[in-house]
Structure 1
């Protein structure tokens, strides 16, 4: 699951074009869901998770180097926080592997809804790691959101697949990744550099096993899925960065939930999948909890 929740604010320009920012955000979200569709399609064709993930990371790395390298040069990789950047890269890689693995067995909408647990996990982790105070309203939203995810996972049901638990484990890794991202952003670290480092670390680590696990795709269609996965990840994150140049994060955050629309649409058109009533109900609860947290945070910032 490619979650566009980076704490990005890539320039010092004023956020004076909100509609343009929303447009970039909507496009970025749709493209990142299309990446998941390509990853699932490649996996269904027999391509291994490590191979799909490697193509995704290397494509992202090459695209960002081509776009930002000529302008930023060494500034793209020169950081005062190498340990934290490497840690972020490893954490996101673990999340990516969990997400792509779960896509082999679950519907896209199931992966999307379970992924909406992320802002709730981040809110919970912010207490011990960022020393933030979480009041009863936020704790209530976190608990209710978790109940919504449990309706999708249904751990006592025979329909529960082990990959759901793997995905939830990956989400907790992603929660720590987001905490580190917030810490770096508060210290003035460039968001573009942080996004580049996630691609660099994942690409380097995944390159090591490639000589042993690479399998040649069987036809041009599979090659197309892999090529698209490599390109779409970089484009999607680039559009999310552009969105934050034109509009504040508090305005853009609710549009992340348009993933639901794209996941249902692409899942149905590509795989013939439709969500069951438990997924719909759980998704509605999780989304409501997430939006409630966003509204509370926005009001807090205004005060």
Structure 2
């Protein structure tokens, strides 16, 4: 489902739909689905929150991640953006020191450094292969890390439905003036499928994630998220004719191995595990 979001965003961008409109669509459709499903049964309980400031900051973090990522996928293959996004657990681990006061030992700091070496292999700064959009992906990963940490703060405070509602409505309100002033309609039937699909992929992906966490802890679920690189590669290659280059085969395993090591280490230490799939 999360690969479907990126695939839809890239397709719509190539169909000349403005980037901010794509982000707006992703959250407007998501908001419509969440409201239609939960508002009749929950009423005002859907919008009640114990930490409105945290909800707004969390929504802002995810919005920045979405804008950066949806812009970057117009210039980079999905395999590259997906691999760089797998640095999110590394960033979560690093940010947990100043934001949550959690100790991080030398083993995990080494994994963080090694992981970012893998990113450098993928993006190759200083060469002709480097594209500035890679920096947008790193910004998206950092924003996603902040989103994850704030989600941990909201655990047990607000329901998943309430959290999804605030993420969606904040983005819709923030982007509406920009998206509506430069609106573009799809021109082909296949474009319409991605036009509505981007929001549907987002909602279903989030709901499946919530359901999964109802059956198993994050420490069990997290490693499966790295399978997304398979779907990203298939989408990039089969839909957009952008096969991965040799440097991706070198750098991506380093990034993934670093994230898996942190997962193993934090599971051993019984700490909350950062999920490598950022919540777009």
Contact kept? 2:85, 2:140, Cα under 8 Å? no
Moved over 4 A (4+): none
Q: Distance in 1 between the 2:36 and 2:219 partners?
A: 30
Say which is worse superposed, 253-262 or 169-178, in terms of deviation.
Answer: 169-178
Q: Distance in 1 between the 2:37 and 2:218 partners?
A: 23
Residue 71 of structure 1, CA deviation: 3.3
Aligned partner (choices 147, 151, 172) of residue 181 of structure 1? 151
The answer to whether 1:269 aligns with 2:238 is yes
The answer to whether 1:207 aligns with 2:180 is no
Q: Distance in 2 between the 1:253 and 1:73 partners?
A: 33
Q: Deviations over 1:163-209 (max 9, x none)?
A: 11122122222222222121222x63323322221111111111122
Q: Distance in 1 between the 2:126 and 2:249 partners?
A: 18
* Corresponding residue SS for 1:208: helix
The answer to whether 1:58 aligns with 2:28 is yes
Matches within 5 A, 1:139-218: 139-185=109-155, 188-218=157-187
Residue 129 of structure 1, CA deviation: 0.5
Aligned partner (choices 179, 199, 206) of residue 230 of structure 1? 199
Structure 1, unaligned stretches of length 5 or more?
1-30
Pairwise CA RMSD: 1.4
TM-score (norm 2): 0.93
Q: Deviations over 1:195-237 (max 9, x none)?
A: 2211111111111223311012222221221111121111111
Q: Report how many aligned residue pairs link the two structures.
A: 271
Contact kept? 2:50, 2:157, Cα under 8 Å? no
Aligned to 1:70: 40
* Corresponding residue SS for 2:127: coil
Residue 76 of structure 1, CA deviation: 1.6
Structure 2, unaligned stretches of length 5 or more?
272-280
TM-score (norm 1): 0.86
Aligned to 2:223: 254
Contact kept? 2:75, 2:133, Cα under 8 Å? yes
